[in-house]
Structure 1
Amino acid sequence: MNAIRRVVKNIGSLFLSRMIGYVLAFVYTLYSARYLGTADFGLISFATAITGLFSIFTDLGLSTLTIREVARDKSQTAKYMGNHGSIKLILSILTMLMLVVYVNFGFNEITKYVVYIIGLSVITDAFGGTFTSIFGAYEQMEYQSLAEIINSVVMCIGVLICVFTNQGVIGVAMVYLISSAVVLVYNFILCSRNYGVIHFQFDFKFWKYLIKTAFPLAITSIFALISFKMNTIMLNYLTTSSVVGEYTAAFNLMQALIFIPTVYSTAILPLFSKLFIDRQDMLAYSYKKSLKYLSLLSIPIAMGTTLLADKIVLFMYGASYANTIPILRLIIWALPAIFLSYVLGTSITSINKQHETLRATFLCLILSLVGNYIFINLFSGEGAAFVTILNEVSMVIFYIYIMHKYGYSVPVKTVLIKPFVASVVMAIVISILNLELFSSIFIGATVYTIMILLLKTIDEDDIKIVGQILPERIVKYLEKIV
């Protein structure tokens, strides 16, 4: 199987699992949001945000490092899995203790219990990352995909049971923990069968190497995650639970689409890591193509969501979430930057320059802290959305500078200009027709595709890439229309 087919296979399996997951997430999020109301839904959102921040201390960049290094040398599997697992077990216990101490200051009993339960689920997921990193290193993402489907199914069934049996917010939180435990058991069994039972190793000299090498990845992840989650946390302190719920409803719609660059970057990290050692010319080529393809997807999504935000929110959440509409119109413009930042971050890691991201992520963290405090006080949820855009765009600019410094340029015309022009034309057509939601989406996608072809955004190389995936008859037809 050639590299392109292998990447496509991994992207396809992850994409399918995420699609199934997000369809099921749509169901249980819709039910839980309407069932719990803005206050309790905001409490669940706060708990997932704060535990998500603490969860970064359970990994410290070890999973990404394991994928990169084992992808280059499979003989290191047992060594990385054993030592990685030992470190992660210790970090998971310490992180849970820190979380318990944190929530015992200034929070009511219900909030504490919800944070404890969801915290345990996040810690369980984090330890399971030891196994999924090995799946990634071997480019066998179908195993990870099945785990994600199992998690989504258990979550959906659990939430529906809570709704129909009138369970409270504690019951909904327990569903998170149960689903995490089920997935951990699955990952353990599958990894043991394919790569051997994990044997905890305590090679302290190797631990020192792991921690030292992964440290820039860890700090970068910590800064980036705090920046990304800070708006929800500061909204909780500076506004009401209802505002948090309204903002989270918009944030979740935007965040749901992040599975696309997540899937893509997960699939390309092992490939990029090997290309850096074997074929740096192909790495530069693949890097530019990756930026192009993700911008072609993200820019029209942002433009279309801005125009159709009212229809989307009313369809998804109902009239009680009307205040979410202006927030969604703003925050969706963080999406193109997030798409690009995933490819840029993965590329930086693959060329062993992860230490270069520390300064950038630290500056973005400061920007997030100061910006959220100022703009949330001034504009509430809309202020938090604006800071999210500012933060993500700043991150992309810093990352582009780092890659450019090492000889990896960005084709601005195909990455930004052409997709934006095509999206503007699409937006004009949607506005003039003013159809219902799904008709607007279909017409918009059709107009955008036609404009992309007219602007000759798809070149011969793109057709060749597609040619390695699709049947020859389809490729010949594409060559004619392009």
Structure 2
Amino acid sequence: MSTVKTLVKNTSVLFLSQMVSYILAFFYTLYSARYLGTTNFGIISFATAISGLFAIFTDLGLSTLTIREVARDKNKSDKYLGNHGMIKLILSLITMLILVIFVNIGTFNEITKNVVYIIGSSVIINAFSGTFTSMFRAFEEMEYQSISEIINAVVLFIGILFCVFTKQSVIAVSLVYLLASIIVLIYNFTMCTKNYGLIHFQVDLKFWKYLIYTAFPLAITSIFALISFRMNTILLNMLTTSAQVGEYTAAFNLMQALIFIPTVYSTAIMPIFSKFYVDNKDMLDYSYKKSLKYLTIISVPISMGTLVLADKIILFIYGSAYVNTIPVLKLIIWALPAIFLSYILGNSIASINKQHETVKVTFLCLILSTVGNFILIKLSGGIGAAFITVLNEVSMVLFYMYIMNKYGYSVPLRSILVKPFIASLVMGIVLYILNLELFTSVIIGIIVYFISIFAIKTFDKDDLNILKQLLPEKINKIISNYE
């Protein structure tokens, strides 16, 4: 299978699993929230949030490192699986112990403690299960990861609905999360053993030192970037009213919901970039630039369309009570193109073994986010937080591009932005003039945008050749006869 077809296959299956998971999560969250009530649903939400926060320390960049190295040399799979798995097991147990201590230090009631223990265990199991997911990604067989994500969503959906209709307790609901994680672990272990061999835990202390030292910048970068991304919400809670937090969060969540697109693509492209760095640096440069171009073509019209249709989107989803969210959404949606590009750039930097360079970048962005949010939230509330979010993400992209340029992987930013922006602007003007209802506007916007990008020749011969690789041979023969 060609590189392009492999990428499309992996992106497609991951995209499908994300969509299935989102749809099922919407329904089981809705049912559980209504059934449990604010108090018990709050306990579940707290347990999930705090466990997810602690789970950061179960990986420390090891998964990304494993994907990168095994993708380059499949013969390393046994060594990385055994040592990575052992380190992950130890980190998971330590993290669970710290979580238990934290809960017992706090003034939580027994029900909350038990729910945190159960959901915490499920999150830790999922973190360890990530050892096997790393192998799926390294071997570019993302269909196994996709199936595991769908299994997790289906078990949660069925289990929670069972608890709701049989009127079970909040403890029973939390046990569903634990059951789902155990089933996923069994599936991942089985598939990994079947395809890549049984995991043999290894204790190679010298190799452990190398793993932790090499992966540490990836871990610090992830932590800094996560805190930087969330700093606006934290400071809004501290400096403004609950109403302003709600108005901002409503817009932030709509923007954040679209991040799964670059997440899926970067997951699929990471092992390909890693192999190209060793085998064919010219192909890495080519693929890197094409990835930036395609994600720009996708993200810019989303931002432009949201800018024009923000009022219709907010009124449709949230209602008239959230009218103050409209200007926030119009601004914060422009962080999206930068976020799309930063995912590819971050993976590109890791694939060329320069992950240590990103620590400084993310730390600077963390300082910018903290200071900027503190000043502008006091002055403008949610609008100020949205502006800093956009500025922070754009700054990160520019820093990342500087790093890639420094090591010979330059890309003219103007060449990837101008034509998608022109086509998006044409689309935006048409939608503004027509002023139709939301869904009709979306359909017309898509049609106008694609006509525009083809009219101004956004796609070159290489892009068309890539498209031909995706088409069946019979169709390609028909096209060739007409050329």
Q: TM-score, normalised by structure 1?
A: 0.89
Cα deviation per residue 1:201-222 (whole Å; 9 max; x = unaligned)?
1111110111111111111112
Cα deviation per residue 1:401-446 (whole Å; 9 max; x = unaligned)?
0001111112323421111111111111112222222111101111
TM superposition shift of 1:311: 3.0
Q: Secondary structure at the match of 2:457?
A: coil
CA distance in 1, matches of 2:471, 2:210: 44
Residue 15 (structure 2) aligns with: 15
TM superposition shift of 1:349: 0.9
TM superposition shift of 1:245: 5.1
CA distance in 1, matches of 2:53, 2:297: 31
Q: Secondary structure at the match of 1:201?
A: coil
TM superposition shift of 1:227: 1.5
The 10-residue stretch of structure 1 (343-352 or 99-108) with the greater mean CA deviation from structure 2: 99-108
CA distance in 2, matches of 1:143, 1:188: 11
Query: Is 1:87–2:87 an aligned residue pair?
Result: yes
Name the CA shift for 1:173/1:392 in 2 (closer, same or farther; >3 Å).
farther
TM superposition shift of 1:452: 0.6
Cα deviation per residue 1:75-109 (whole Å; 9 max; x = unaligned)?
11121111111111111222233344455667654
Query: Is 1:142–2:160 an aligned residue pair?
Result: no
Cα deviation per residue 1:176-222 (whole Å; 9 max; x = unaligned)?
44433332222122212222222221111110111111111111112
Query: Is 1:449–2:450 an aligned residue pair?
Result: yes
Q: Secondary structure at the match of 2:200?
A: coil
CA distance in 2, matches of 1:386, 1:118: 35
Structure 2: stretches of 5+ with no match in the other structure: none
Residue 24 (structure 1) aligns with: 24
Name the CA shift for 1:395/1:89 in 2 (closer, same or farther; >3 Å).
same
Residue 268 (structure 1) aligns with: 269
TM superposition shift of 1:343: 0.6
Q: Which amino acid aligns with 1:53?
A: L
Identity of aligned residues (%): 69
TM superposition shift of 1:60: 0.8
Query: Number of matched residues?
Result: 482
Residue 400 (structure 1) aligns with: 401
Query: Is 1:54–2:54 an aligned residue pair?
Result: yes
TM superposition shift of 1:10: 1.1
The 10-residue stretch of structure 1 (245-254 or 365-374) with the greater mean CA deviation from structure 2: 245-254
CA distance in 1, matches of 2:312, 2:175: 33
TM superposition shift of 1:255: 2.1
The 10-residue stretch of structure 1 (285-294 or 47-56) with the greater mean CA deviation from structure 2: 47-56
CA distance in 2, matches of 1:99, 1:404: 42
Residue 222 (structure 1) aligns with: 223
CA distance in 2, matches of 1:450, 1:37: 49
Q: Which amino acid aligns with 1:337?
A: A
Residue 189 (structure 2) aligns with: 188
Q: Which amino acid aligns with 1:15?
A: F
CA distance in 1, matches of 2:89, 2:55: 12
Cα deviation per residue 1:290-336 (whole Å; 9 max; x = unaligned)?
00000100111112122323333343344555554444333322211
Name the CA shift for 1:311/1:175 in 2 (closer, same or farther; >3 Å).
farther
TM superposition shift of 1:239: 5.1
Within a 5 Å distance, the mapping from 1:449-468 to structure 2 comes to 449-468=450-469
Cα deviation per residue 1:32-77 (whole Å; 9 max; x = unaligned)?
6777889987876666555433322111110011011111111111
Are the counterparts in 2 of residues 42 and 241 from structure 1 also a CA contact under 8 Å? no
Q: TM-score, normalised by structure 2?
A: 0.89
Q: Which amino acid aligns with 1:20?
A: V
Name the CA shift for 1:17/1:247 in 2 (closer, same or farther; >3 Å).
same
The structure that has the greater radius of gyration is 2
CA distance in 2, matches of 1:247, 1:168: 33
Name the CA shift for 1:247/1:113 in 2 (closer, same or farther; >3 Å).
farther
CA distance in 1, matches of 2:343, 2:318: 29
Query: Is 1:424–2:425 an aligned residue pair?
Result: yes
Q: Secondary structure at the match of 1:152?
A: helix
TM superposition shift of 1:347: 0.7
Query: Is 1:291–2:283 an aligned residue pair?
Result: no
Q: Secondary structure at the match of 1:354?
A: coil
CA distance in 2, matches of 1:23, 1:397: 35
TM superposition shift of 1:171: 6.7
Q: Secondary structure at the match of 1:468?
A: helix
Cα deviation per residue 1:112-170 (whole Å; 9 max; x = unaligned)?
66655544333222111101000011110000011111222233344545666677877
Q: Which amino acid aligns with 2:83?
A: N
Within a 5 Å distance, the mapping from 1:367-386 to structure 2 comes to 367-386=368-387
CA distance in 2, matches of 1:34, 1:426: 40
Q: Secondary structure at the match of 1:408?
A: coil
Residue 65 (structure 2) aligns with: 65
